Structures are given as structure tokens and as C-alpha cells.
Amino acid sequence: MNKKGFIFDLDGVIVDTAKYHFLAWKKLANDLGIDFSETQNEELKGVSRVKSLEKILQWGNTSVSEEQFAALMKKKNTDYLTYVNTMTEDEILADVPKILHYLKEEKQPFALGSASKNARTILEKVALIKDFKSIVDGTNVSKAKPDPEVFLIAAKELNIVPEDCIVFEDSVAGIQAANAANMISIGIGKKETLKEADYIFKDFTEISTAFIKQLIKN
Ligand code: B16
Ligand code: MG
């Protein structure tokens, strides 16, 4: 039987935590006297926590000391976690369970490949943690997307060569990382934004099990 490695990004693919990142970053930015819009939040998707804060400070023409930077990072995460702690299975995005169920039925291994250091907490909150054969997140990588490191580690842990891996991603940097890893990239989101992906779908309601079956076969 053909075996492929399926790798899922977390935020924007399995759950929409971007709305919580937005609330936490907005509060932090506004407290510093910096404006922060939803459009700017889009630019932080898939970007690490450190890089996100660097960008916000840059947008606000603000510089802080190393200690202040560390304190701001901590503050943002504490605030973000208050939202994460309210999460339940109801927040799993539409038709994600349908695809995960199908992969299990077909005995296809799947992993998580996320930039988030909170990935395990989130997967626990939405009761998906036991389903993933491997979880690679912000605590396991040294290079952020678009570097392929996160997906290459996931492939290794799944014991599947990169060429036989399929990545679901909602961020441009993530699609670039999947392409750089020589994996099949599936963009979840807008066609105009994710044009570098091999396939693009609005969300999982547009992805049929027949399509997944075809990916397994090829
Ligand atoms: P944390 P993903 C990313 O998750 C988010 O898209 C991005 O906005 C966030 O800054 C990053 O995780 C780090 O998250 O602060 O929880 O470590 O899309 O790679 O699953
Ligand atoms: Mg994402």
C-alpha cells in the first residue's frame, strides 16, 4: 500500500487562533501607543513570536531594551493563553475531522508542523493531540518558515521521504517552506495570496476524500 506523509500547519489550518493572536498583539501594541490593524495581523501569520514583536515595534518606530523585549513577549503570551484556555473541540475548522478520519482509515501517517510554541496546549484543548503521530512545533526548530526545517523534521519523524509528503498551510512563508522541502504544498486560503502552492482551497470543505485518495495513489 502507498504511504504518504501528511503534515498540517496549526493556526489557520486546524484552528483559527489568528483571531486570538490579533487580540493579544493589539492590546500590547496599543499599550505601547502603536496602532495595529487586522491587515498587519495577516503579515504575522506563520511568523514566529520573536519576529512578530520585532515587526510590531518596527511599524511603531519603537525600540525597547532586551529586558523589555523579553517582558513584552511574556506579556503577550500570557494574554494569548487566556484565550487559548477557553478553546474546545468546537473550534476545529470545518471538515478538518473528516480528512483526519479518512487518513486514519487509510492508515496514512500525519504530523503537525507549526511555528507555535503553544501547539501542544492548543491540540490538547481541541482534543486532537492523540491523533498526530508526530508534533513538530516552535519548540523543536531553530529556523523559522520559509526555512523548510519544521517540515523536514516532521517527514523524518513520520519516516517518509520529503518527496512523498503533503503539507497543508495557510501562510505564504509556510508554502515556501513546503516547496523548499520538495513536498507537495496545499494552500488553505485565498488564491491571490497563496499562488505559489501546488493546490489551493478556500478551506477543508472544498477538499474531498477522493482528492486525498488521488494524492495517496500518485
Ligand atoms: P506562538 P502556525 C504561528 O502558528 C502563527 O500563525 C503565528 O501568528 C504565531 O506568531 C506563531 O505561530 C508563533 O506562535 O506565539 O504560539 O509560539 O500557523 O505556524 O501554526
Ligand atoms: Mg498557519
- Given a cut of 90, whether residue 46 has pLDDT beyond it is no
CA of 171 from ligand 2 middle (Å) equals 5
pTM of the model: 0.95
How large is the average pLDDT for residues 17-38?
96
- Please choose from 16, 114, 175 the residue to mutate so as to test ligand 1's pocket, defined by most ligand atoms within 8 A of CB: 114
Ligand nearest to the CA of 13: 2
Residue 75 has pLDDT above 90, yes or no: yes
Distance between alpha carbon 24 and the CA centroid of its chain, in Å?
17
Bond into 148 cis (ω within 30): no
| Confidence band of 218 (pLDDT split at 50, 70, 90) | confident
Average pLDDT, the chain: 96
Nearest residue (by CA) to ligand 1, atom 16, is: 116
Across 7-21, 37-51, 170-184, least confident range: 37-51
Nearest CA to ligand 1 atom 8: 45
Q: What ligand has the least distance to the C-alpha of 171?
A: 2
Extended beta strands in 88-204, E state? 110-113, 134-136, 165-169, 184-188, 199-201
Integer angstrom CA distances of residue 209 from 93, 137, 168, 197, 212: 16, 27, 15, 19, 5
Residue 15: pLDDT over 80: yes
pLDDT at 56: 98
Q: Is the CB of 21 under 6 A from ligand 1?
A: yes
| Nearest-ligand number for the alpha carbon of 44 | 1
Among 146, 145, 123, 147, which Cα is nearest to 133's? Answer: 123
pLDDT at 1: 73
pLDDT at 94: 98
Phi, psi of 44 (to 5 degrees): -95, -5
Instruction: Using the atom order of ligand 1, give the atom closest to the CA of residue 150.
Output: 19
CB 136 within 8 Å of CB 157: yes
pLDDT (tens digit, 9 = 90+) per residue, 121-177? 999 999 999 999 999 999 999 999 999 999 999 999 999 999 999 999 999 999 999
- pLDDT computed for residue 171 by the predictor: 93
Ligand 2 centroid to Cα of residue 169, in Å, is 6
Is 115 near ligand 1, meaning CB less than 6 Å away?
yes
Task: Specify the residue with its C-alpha closest to ligand 1, atom 12.
Answer: 116
CA distance 95 to 97: 5
* Residue of 164, 167, 131 whose CA lies nearest to 149: 167
DSSP 8-state class, residue 93:
P
Segment 96-115 mean pLDDT: 97
Assess whether the C-beta atom of 12 lies below 6 angstroms from ligand 1: yes
> Are 169 and 204 spatial neighbours (Cβ–Cβ below 8 Å)?
no
Confidence of residue 86 (pLDDT cuts 50, 70, 90): very high
Point out the ligand 1 atom lying closest to the alpha carbon of residue 21.
Answer: 8
Centre of ligand 2 from the C-alpha of residue 1, in Å? 31
Report the separation in Å between the CA atom of 166 and the middle of ligand 2, taken as the mean of its atom positions: 15
